[in-house]
């Protein structure tokens, strides 16, 4: 018991503890607010998407921050997860009445499907490097979107009916369409709950932290920092990167399933290139490899355009200006030095009384 | 037998017309791809705002033609000048302070600039689609006894693209500024030691790319005739793909990549499927990159230990 507690508050693991605490605190505060004062329905409708974006941003951070490969295809994995989840939950609906179990199965299968697609993609993708890798993941995301735009899937008593390119499905009585091309999925039973989102974030953190603090995590960071040196000490770079990529895809797929089951209609067009970019912005602003930062930046940046809603047409303009300014300020050399000086000054003042003197 | 020959003739004529139309579309992609590839070659950054510079060019040309009633030539000239200035301003205020920053920060800034231009255009010009005035009477001409019909627009686009390519190649290879650009793309510090003003050279590159974007904008609007503030995003992604296809950083690569992409897109739309054409285009890109990881004409950089 003592060992576990020490492990939790260990200096090495302090960032992990902080991440968990931030998520749990956020959940508790929002639950309390919901049960006491009550929150606006607009805000309430943002809760589940925020959880999904946090999970996808964390998953992307595993690829971009920890593994060091730029991926612009995570909206594609989300789309795979979302539509798989919707199909599974739609198919199970007559047989399984327990909502949370159906959601769990949908998320699980959605994650697995996204993982399979991720595995399939990672074979060619990880042969490439840098910007070429970015464009190939972007291309995959576009391919997935345009394929989903052309899938027609219906179900009736005779089983599943599938058609590609054109809508040629005739269903028996009582049958219904699960996917209808560009219109996407219609009349989805909304299963997603905020608690499910919260648990998914915890699950994601658990997986990512256990991975990064393991032998695998150290070898992948070694591969990121110096490919050749890592290779020379016997790390199989492609396999490690592939594992990170696939796990990231699975998590993104699970988040996608939750995201899809949060709406009553969902079009494939929602998962376009801009969504990938949006998630990448969350990751970069939160700090590469920094999970707590990712969670906080996702919450702030996702809420920001909604908070600016009062400004109507100008909100996205202001959002873009804030984005540029943040990048300019955080990369300003003189400003960085000044803040560093300030921090050391504060530190030395506080540490004067202590045993450790700052030079 | 006779009818068989005629059928084959008609089919091959149809193929030829698709091919030439594909080249027209590809020429536009090639001109846009030049902007991406030149900036990448020198600044080593993906300029995501390039597509939105195209959009600004389109609106400038539109307002010059309809509101101010300038002549076609003056309107295009004004659009080119404005986009050039815009390109220099974007570089000066958004990218120059980040020259030593990580490439991801620059990427995010470029995305920010792209959002900014798009939303500014939405506020200034509205989201309703605008109809671009007809610059050329939609005249077509026939070849081979009327079996092959082509429009002058397509031909003009291809000619403009080839002209730009020739001029740009001469500029980069023969002039002093072009030499400076090549030197900067190889090694910025060494170039600086040789007395090259690196900052100015980068600004010139952005100016050139943005000026070309304005020309591409006019050509694009001539083909599609209506446009909105999101005009630039899809051709932007396609042209970016074309630049990677041909090998990013290489000017002939952009030309080849753009043309091939346009031809593949038109042919898949004609023979396979309209809806799946995007998927097929990107699939071809992935296959090409698997066989040649640095694009068709890209140089392979060996890693030193």
Tally of CB atoms within 10 A around A260: 31
> A98 with A245: CB under 8 angstroms?
no
**Residue A357 resides in a domain:** no
| Residue A82 pLDDT exceeds 80 | yes
Average of per-residue pLDDT values in chain A: 82
Instruction: Write the CA distances from A11 to A15, A16, A305, A338, B303, integer angstroms.
Output: 8, 10, 36, 27, 37
**Residue A170 resides in a domain:** yes
3 state SS of B150: strand
- Residues contacting residue B258 through CB under 8 Å, at least 6 positions apart: B26, B27, B28, B29, B30, B31, B32, B33, B161, B239, B242, B243, B246
Confidence of residue A15 (pLDDT cuts 50, 70, 90): confident
How would you list the strands of the sheet with A176-180, edge to edge?
Answer: A159-164, A151-156, A176-180
Q: Measured between alpha carbons, how far is B283 from A142 in angstroms, rounded to an integer?
A: 10
Confidence of residue B1 (pLDDT cuts 50, 70, 90): low
- Residues contacting residue A24 through CB under 8 Å, at least 6 positions apart: A202
Across residues B108-124, what is the average pLDDT? 89
Least confident of B42-56, B78-92, B275-289: B275-289
Residues of chain A contacting residue B293, judged by C-beta atoms under 8 Å apart:
127-129, 132
Across residues B10-17, what is the average pLDDT? 78
**Residue A173 resides in a domain:** yes
Instruction: Write the CA distances from B52 to A6, A129, B79, B111, B253, integer angstroms.
Output: 54, 27, 13, 10, 23
- The pLDDT of residue B241: 85
Q: Measured between alpha carbons, how far is A192 from A257 in angstroms, rounded to an integer?
A: 9
Q: Measured between alpha carbons, how far is A108 from A102 in angstroms, rounded to an integer?
A: 10
Higher pLDDT, B65 or B149: B65
**Residue A103 resides in a domain:** yes
**Residue A334 resides in a domain:** no
- Residue A120 Cα, gap to closest chain B Cα (Å): 13
| Residue B118 pLDDT exceeds 70 | yes
Give the closest residue to A141 by CA, choosing from A61, A77, A52.
A77
Asked if the Cβ–Cβ distance from A147 to B283 is below 8 Å, we say no
Roughly how many angstroms between the first and final C-alpha of chain A, as a whole number? Answer: 39
3 state SS of B140: strand
Asked if the Cβ–Cβ distance from A317 to B108 is below 8 Å, we say no
ipTM field: 0.80
Q: Measured between alpha carbons, how far is B239 from B233 in angstroms, rounded to an integer?
A: 10
| Residue A13 pLDDT exceeds 80 | no
Confidence of residue A357 (pLDDT cuts 50, 70, 90): very low
Q: In the numeric block, which tokens belong to residue B211?
A: 């000026």
**Residue A237 resides in a domain:** yes
**Residue A322 resides in a domain:** no
- Residue A4 Cα, gap to closest chain B Cα (Å): 38
Q: What is the pLDDT of residues A192-244, one digit of tens each?
A: 888 888 999 999 999 998 888 888 888 888 888 888 888 888 888 888 888 99
Higher pLDDT, A34 or B263: B263
Asked if the Cβ–Cβ distance from A317 to B113 is below 8 Å, we say no
Residues of chain A contacting residue B286, judged by C-beta atoms under 8 Å apart:
124, 136, 139-140
| Number of structural domains in chain A | 1
- The pLDDT of residue A351: 65
Across residues B38-57, what is the average pLDDT? 88
Using a CB–CB cutoff of 8 Å, tell me whether A57 touches chain B. Answer: no
Q: Where is A161: in which H helix or E strand?
A: strand A159-164
| Residue A113 pLDDT exceeds 90 | yes
Instruction: Write the CA distances from B60 to A147, B25, B232, B294, integer angstroms.
Output: 36, 22, 14, 36
In chain B, alpha helices (H): 2-43, 50-66, 72-90, 103-125, 152-174, 176-186, 188-193, 198-224, 233-246, 251-271, 277-291
- CB-closest option in B113, B237, B244 to A132: B244
Give the closest residue to B118 by CA, choosing from B222, B229, B215, B263.
B229
Q: Measured between alpha carbons, how far is B213 from B240 in angstroms, rounded to an integer?
A: 13
- Residue A295 Cα, gap to closest chain B Cα (Å): 18
Q: What is the pTM of this model?
A: 0.83
Q: What is the pLDDT of residues B130-165, one digit of tens each?
A: 888 877 766 777 776 666 777 888 888 999 999 999
- The pLDDT of residue B5: 66
| Residue A355 pLDDT exceeds 50 | no
Give the closest residue to A178 by CA, choosing from A254, A68, A260.
A260
Q: Measured between alpha carbons, how far is B44 from B98 in angstroms, rounded to an integer?
A: 12
| Residue A166 pLDDT exceeds 70 | no
- Residue A318 Cα, gap to closest chain B Cα (Å): 8
> B207 with B90: CB under 8 angstroms?
no
Q: Measured between alpha carbons, how far is A169 from B180 in angstroms, rounded to an integer?
A: 62
Q: Is residue B103 packed enough to be buried (19+ CB in 10 Å), middle (13-18) or exposed (0-12)?
A: middle
Domain boundaries, given as residue ranges, for chain B: 26-138+145-232
> B60 with B46: CB under 8 angstroms?
no
Q: Is residue A169 packed enough to be buried (19+ CB in 10 Å), middle (13-18) or exposed (0-12)?
A: middle
Roughly how many angstroms between the first and final C-alpha of chain B, as a whole number? Answer: 67
**Optimal mutation site among B40, B45, B236, B279, interface A, most CBs of chain A within 10 A:** B279
Determine the structural domain holding residue A151 and report its residue range.
14-314
């Amino acid at each position: 018991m003592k060992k576990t507690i020490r492990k939790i508050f260990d200096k090495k693991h302090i960032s992990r503890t902080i991440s968990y605490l931030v998520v749990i605190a956020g959940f508790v505060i929002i639950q309390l607010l919901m049960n006491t004062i009550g929150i606006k329905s607009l805000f309430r409708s943002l809760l589940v998407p925020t959880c999904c974006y946090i999970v996808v941003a964390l998953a992307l951070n595993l690829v971009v921050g920890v593994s060091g490969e730029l991926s612009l295809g995570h909206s594609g994995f989300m789309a795979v997860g979302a539509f798989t989840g919707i199909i599974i939950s739609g198919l199970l609906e007559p047989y399984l009445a327990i909502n949370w179990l159906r959601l769990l199965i949908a998320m699980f299968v959605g994650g697995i499907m996204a993982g399979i697609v991720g595995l399939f993609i990672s074979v060619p993708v990880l042969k490439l490097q840098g910007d070429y890798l970015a464009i190939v993941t972007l291309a995959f995301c576009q391919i997935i979107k345009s394929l989903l735009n052309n899938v027609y899937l219906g179900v009736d008593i005779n089983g599943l009916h599938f058609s590609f390119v054109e809508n040629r499905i005739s269903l028996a009585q009582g049958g219904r369409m699960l996917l209808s091309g560009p219109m996407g999925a219609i009349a989805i039973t909304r299963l997603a709950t905020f608690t499910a989102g919260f648990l998914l974030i915890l699950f994601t953190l658990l997986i990512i932290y256990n991975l990064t603090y393991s032998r695998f995590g150290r070898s992948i960071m070694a591969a990121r920092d110096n490919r050749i040196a890592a290779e020379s000490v016997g790390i199989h770079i492609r396999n490690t990167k592939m594992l990170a990529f696939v796990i990231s895809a699975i998590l993104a797929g699970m988040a996608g399933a939750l995201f899809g089951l949060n709406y009553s209609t969902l079009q494939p067009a929602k998962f376009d290139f801009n969504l990938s970019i949006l998630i990448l912005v969350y990751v970069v602003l939160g700090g590469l490899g920094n999970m707590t930062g990712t969670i906080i930046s996702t919450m702030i940046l996702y809420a920001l355009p909604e908070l600016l809603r009062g400004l109507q047409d100008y909100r996205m303009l202001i959002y873009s200006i804030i984005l540029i300014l943040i990048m300019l300020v955080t990369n300003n050399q003189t400003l960085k030095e000044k803040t560093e000086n300030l921090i050391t000054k504060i530190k030395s003042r506080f540490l004067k009384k202590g045993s450790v003197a700052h030079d | 037998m006779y009818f068989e020959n005629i059928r084959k003739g008609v089919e091959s004529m149809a193929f030829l017309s698709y091919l030439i139309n594909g080249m027209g579309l590809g020429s536009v992609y090639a001109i846009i791809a030049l902007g991406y590839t030149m900036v990448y070659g020198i600044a080593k950054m993906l300029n995501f705002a390039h597509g939105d510079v195209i959009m600004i060019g389109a609106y400038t040309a539109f307002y010059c033609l309809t509101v101010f009633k300038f002549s076609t030539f003056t309107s295009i000239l004004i659009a080119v000048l404005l986009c050039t200035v815009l390109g220099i301003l974007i570089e000066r205020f958004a990218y120059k302070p980040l020259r030593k920053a990580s490439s991801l920060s620059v990427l995010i800034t470029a995305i920010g600039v792209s959002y900014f231009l798009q939303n500014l255009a939405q506020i200034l010009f509205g989201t309703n689609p605008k109809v671009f005035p007809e610059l050329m009477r939609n005249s077509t001409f026939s070849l081979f006894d009327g079996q092959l019909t082509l429009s002058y627009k397509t031909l003009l686009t291809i000619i403009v693209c080839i002209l730009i390519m020739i001029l740009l190649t001469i500029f980069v290879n023969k002039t002093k500024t072009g030499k400076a650009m090549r030197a900067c793309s190889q090694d910025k510090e060494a170039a600086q030691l040789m007395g090259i003003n690196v900052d100015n050279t980068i600004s010139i590159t952005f100016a050139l790319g943005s000026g070309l974007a304005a020309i591409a904008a006019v050509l694009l609007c001539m083909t599609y005739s209506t446009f909105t503030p999101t005009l630039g995003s899809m051709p932007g992604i396609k042209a970016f793909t074309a630049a990677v296809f041909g090998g990013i950083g290489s000017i002939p690569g952009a030309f080849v990549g753009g043309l091939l992409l346009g031809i593949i897109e038109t042919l898949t739309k004609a023979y396979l499927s309209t809806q799946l054409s995007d998927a097929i285009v990107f699939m071809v890109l992935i296959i090409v990159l698997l066989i040649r990881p640095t694009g068709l004409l890209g140089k392979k950089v060996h890693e030193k230990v």
